[in-house]
With several copies, the nearest count.
Chain A
């Protein structure tokens, strides 16, 4: 049995760390897919940089999750030996890259949620989490600035770029609600002062998004529109399975091998 399942009734802290790790890794993986395909070399390197930040965050988080799990698993076991239903990332992270408009808009929408989240988490009573968050916050702040500039540039660029950004916004918006959901797992951590309440961070996100979209001359979608959700329960989009098939191929093909 090679599939490593972290049961839904595992301790909230472990589950939560895993969720954060999964989102970071999947985002990093998606960004890394731009290598060799970006519209300009500088952006290709910038996307790779962000991918490295996310993968680095994922590694710290998986490493912590493995220690919390305490059953001798490694960061790689968690990344490479869990199948789709055991993943806990946000759906927005797993969507295919789409065009550059989709990718920078996702990068912006997610960073605008993560940056305040990491900042709040840096005050966690859990010292390990606080340290990871403090580092991640700086990275997210940079991602936010960089992607935000692109959102403005493309929204307020040509007709074509404006049209593409509008389409990207329609496609991605339904996936933003999930970033502010808190289930029982998270509520428990909020109560203990281990994690911030994501809902409390939503107004900051909304203000940031409204400001940047306005400068980008893009219409702000209705914030109360119907939202997609499921990543935290392991109910994903059809895209994650394909990503994992590629990502996990080697460790799945050669069980036990060290690389």
Chain B
């Protein structure tokens, strides 16, 4: 109990908890779950955007998109590394993803249907992710906080890129404008769902707030996102697919309509448009690459054996 009190005091004092420090089992568990889910989301998140790499409409966009998807893979890698400091192996975590046991952000179970979706993902999905992640740069667990600082820097670059795509489209031909509007129509509500269930229904919130893993509630972050994003959409000349959206001058907030939580739950339960496809793609890659990983191990073993040989001979 003394350890718990000391731990909580450190957290309260905004001290960073480091891998070798004592921490409550539940803290460790929560972090492993959250960090690995975040890592999985980066990895699965490569797919919807990856879907447009071969069809990007200019060389500049092609290079930028490929670099962005590559960044996401990189984020996945250092988030796995952060999780590993808590005593789980990346293989274990990755196996949980492939088996469907671990979750990842539901937003990546929606399909990318036009080039405008690449803009919308950058603008809205990365925008929402940043809103979630900026507070995590100050989260109580050191390795996680440091990983998030790097992630956030790159994400905000991606977000600007996405907005710039939307801007180009909304200043383009009638067809391009229609494409941009259609993308906003499809991505707006799922982006709002990215902040998770309403505060009343959120399972892990209270303790996470106390442990400073989390610093704002889901609803707070969602409102921040809406407030930041709606003026950007208006600047694009686009209409949000929400007839109830209006500015509340008194509160200083954009008020929005009711979220379809039935859809949120269905997608979370595995019934989104692309859940099966996303996991299958990664499973197929993993299975059809098994011979490569085995060969790499076999070769490394041969090398070690050869390196040991002359040494023994010299004995």
Contacts and interface: CB of A to CB of B under 8 A. Distances in A.
- Chains A and B in contact, CB within 8 Å: yes
Nearest to A242: B55
A7 to B, nearest CB: 11
Contact of B69 (A35, A40, A154): A35
Contact of B273 (A48, A84, A237, A251): A237
B294 A246 contact: no
Interface stretch (B155-163, B173-181, B190-198, B227-235): B173-181
Interface string B300-315: 0010000000000000
Given A160-B295, A241-B113, A257-B175, A226 B271 contact: yes
Interface of B: 43, 46-48, 50-51, 53-63, 66-67, 69-70, 73-74, 76-77, 111-115, 165, 168-169, 172-176, 179, 182, 186, 266, 269, 271, 273-274, 276-277, 281-282, 284-286, 288-296, 298-299, 302
Given A35-B66, A158-B298, A257-B173, A83 B59 contact: no
B115 A259 contact: yes
Given A43-B292, A59-B59, A164-B291, 5 more contacts: A41-B73, A51-B66, A238-B48, A247-B55, A259-B172
Contacts of A256: 173
15 contacts: A5-B175, A39-B289, A45-B77, A48-B70, A48-B73, A80-B58, A83-B175, A84-B114, A100-B292, A158-B298, A160-B291, A230-B273, A238-B274, A241-B114, A257-B175
Given A84-B114, A257-B173, A39 B55 contact: no
B296 A38 contact: no
A79 interface: yes
Contact of A257 (B165, B172, B296): B172
Contacts of B269: 226
A259 B53 CA distance: 14
A250 B58 CA distance: 9
3 tightest CB-CB pairs across the interface, nearest first?
A: A39-B289, A157-B295, A161-B295
B173 A254 contact: yes
Nearest to B65: A32
Contact of A38 (B63, B165, B273, B285): B285
B173 A1 contact: yes
Contacts of B293: 39-40
Interface of A: 1, 3, 5, 25, 29, 32-33, 35-45, 48-49, 51-52, 55-56, 58-59, 62, 75-76, 79-80, 83-85, 99-100, 152-154, 156-158, 160-161, 164, 171, 174, 226, 228, 230, 235-238, 240-241, 245-247, 249-251, 254, 256-259
Nearest to B276: A171
Contacts of A48: 66-67, 69-70, 73
B291 A158 contact: yes
Contact of B175 (A1, A45, A52): A1
A244 to B, nearest CB: 11
A141 B269 CA distance: 37
A5 B288 CA distance: 41
Contact of B186 (A154, A174, A235, A238): A235
A45 B70 contact: yes
A33 B285 CA distance: 12
A111 to B, nearest CB: 19
Given A37-B281, A48-B73, A58 B295 contact: no
Nearest to A100: B292
Contact of B176 (A75, A160, A254): A254
A259 B175 CA distance: 12
A52 B113 contact: no
A233 B273 CA distance: 14
Contact of A76 (B58, B67, B70): B58
B289 A41 contact: no
A1 B293 CA distance: 49
Nearest to B60: A59
A246 B54 contact: yes
A176 B266 CA distance: 17
Contact of B55 (A76, A236, A250, A258): A250
Contacts of B292: 39-40, 43, 100, 154, 161
Contacts of A259: 57-58, 61, 115, 165, 168-169, 172
Contacts of B70: 45, 48-49, 52
A55 B115 contact: no
A236 B269 CA distance: 21
B67 A75 contact: no
Q: Which of B59, B266, B276, B296 has the most CB of A within 10 A?
A: B59
